[in-house]
Amino acid sequence: MPTQVQTIFSKASGRAGNYRIPSIVKTKSGVLVACADERFFTGRDNPNRIDKVVRRSFDNGLTWEEQIVVVEEVGESMKDASAAIDPCMLYDENSDTIFMIYSHTPAGIGILTCKKGLGQDQDGNLYLYEGRKRYTLKDGKVYDKSDKVNEDYEIKSNGDIIFKGQPAGNYKLNSGKLKELKSSHLYITSSNDDGLTWSTPLNITNQVKEKYMSFIGAGPGVGITVKEGKYKGRLIFPIYYNVWDIGQILMLSACIMYSDDNGKTWHRGKSPNQTRKHGIFPVGHRFVLPNDMITETQLIECKDGQLKLFMRNHSSKKLIATAVSDDGGVTWKDYKHNPYLPHCICQCCVITGDDDGREVTVFLNAADTKARRNGVIRLSYDYGETFEYSKLIKDGEFVYSCMVWLGDGKIGVLYEENTQHEEINFITVTLDEIKNGEQWK
């Protein structure tokens, strides 16, 4: 059986009543770093006050340090608070760096209400708006369209506004005299000391989002560093986006973003939705019917550097979709639904490890077509085409999850306990337990 369940994130160890969206990595120093959304006013998505928090373990998950706040948003009520939602971490062994991306939204904004646009100039400076008047924030100073400093304004690092020497709200909140674009902004932060301290988050929206897009967000879960082949060393995060901002319509497509310069700059690859055809006619990602939407994804590296994407999707088939890439995630082919992977339109997680000299793919999700329940872990020796072993590790409700390879045939599982979203738990599962347990179909 799996090890005893440990509650890693909850009101007992943090500052809020709700925790969601697990992400976990292990550094070459042997430190486990677990991350989650800390959700203050409810367990729901944004609009809400959502911060980013981590906990660390130095003994493969047996004990955990106190919670660390990585990203702190602002606001005193659900409708008037900003959010840093959905973490996705990537540990790059080459640089010994943990990267984390997440989606930031100002008060009152969620996936259905994001406006299209970047909210930044070409250099990454944030636009701030006073009615129809637009300013640019550079190094804490506010510039008008003629690039002249407006001496009436001072902006604090947390977004607080000082206007003519007096407090004037916060640009992330409804109270702000100036406001940022009411949209989704993609941010990145990093740690070079095993998750103890983190860099000031950087807004990279202008690098990966197009002006016609509204929402953009992380996988969530984990990203990877390519280990073999032509694109060796490439850092890859899964992301997804919406191309519509009228009438609360979702036209969602997944893709990846990648960096070939150790995270200094990022680029967006194409979506598998850009390879679709209706009959003989190609269909781009700017027109996506509900049945074609692909959203939260995770990926693995296969033989010779080929990548494989595992996708939450809205097809009536209720099966996880997959696609492969031979060019480091820039384009995708062989989009299909895997008959071995049922899902209820919910996030999944997948990693690779070593099983006595054989590369093994480990897949986990809520393996039910009707509800978020039945956490089933599966083993594959052909990169997720087929699965030789499967085991139910959590009966009843099971929601989002993330796995980490612990070594010696052990897998760490960080998962949401139930749909009340009051805690995130951790267990260790061994390959032998999966192989020797009762098979789950």
Token pair in block for residue 86: 């959905």
d(CA 234, CA 228) in angstroms, rounded, equals 10
**Catalytic one of 180, 245, 296, 422:** 296
d(CA 367, CA 357) in angstroms, rounded, equals 28
Strands 160-163 and 358-366: unpaired
Are 258 and 269 within 8 A, CB to CB? Answer: yes
d(CA 98, CA 153) in angstroms, rounded, equals 35
* Residue 292 annotated to the active site: no
Helical residues (DSSP H) of 141-254, grouped into ranges:
205-208
* Residue 327 annotated to the active site: no
Q: Which helix (H) or strand (E) holds 436?
A: helix 431-436
The residue whose two tokens read 């990537």 is: 90
**Catalytic one of 37, 45, 80, 417:** 45
d(CA 379, CA 388) in angstroms, rounded, equals 6
Token pair in block for residue 419: 């749909």
The residue whose two tokens read 């070409």 is: 122
Which amino acid, one-letter code, is at 390? Answer: S
Phi, psi of 245 (to 5 degrees): -140, 25
Are 86 and 21 within 8 A, CB to CB? Answer: yes
| Catalytically active residues, by annotation | 45, 296
